[in-house]
Structure 1
């Protein structure tokens, strides 16, 4: 499938089937994240794969933003490893870690879609609740959760999914 078609096909899944995700598909999604570009190739991302029953129970108690996905990737970055732009006078010491983690997440999301899986980039939660539930991420910056699984048969995109601005509203030539 070409990338534009893949981009059209992807939507935020909010209803997952109970079907488990195959280990090789999870590995492929993680490899897509590993290969994603990061500033100065710093690779500050730290990804935690939540798939055991115990870990899924912890994340479900911490936030409803998992929509009972059988796999949840907790995407973080290490601010000690992320690129800092000290040449930027407007944002002195700009930390590229969140941007890098977002790029990594987008790559994993698109790979999952290409493999027939559904995803949801989740950020509508209280971060402290996640930190409390997962002391393993202490000292890292939590960027998002990426819910992954097979969409339920009656899963469909939200009404807002196809609402896209015209390029002329978002792009300017200089």
Structure 2
């Protein structure tokens, strides 16, 4: 089982493409597009997330994905687990009554929204996204879900950029990342 897990992680790592100096000089962009293009790599990602969740969070009731790349992995994982999927979107993208939270980005501000009736108070959820950098977006999502009185069990990401210490910003929430740089 451990060997199978390691071979899946290696497959995922091989399908992450680096783009130096994008979107600006000094930044190495970690591209997940090759994972999405390769059915075996995408299956490996979902297998690894599923194994982690079944082992560590068997009581999860909803997977909540962040706009937009959390939408790529979240529904697949939710389907495997037999639970629902909910979206957190950028401001103005969801119909109906929404709850929102403002947060800071590197070069400005943003707002994240969720439909008010998407999560019931006390519902056990996991947040999912493709990448954890500084932690600002996942932190804002957590604040939004606290407003909804959800029980946040943790965060799942494909890639974590350790040097940016994003997981520190999310404490005490546990962060599970497949690949770290």
Q: Please, what TM-score do these two structures have when normalized by structure 1?
A: 0.30
User: Which one scores higher on RCO, CA 8 angstroms, separation ≥ 6?
Assistant: 1
More strand by share: 2
* Largest Rg, 1 or 2: 1
Q: Please, what TM-score do these two structures have when normalized by structure 2?
A: 0.29
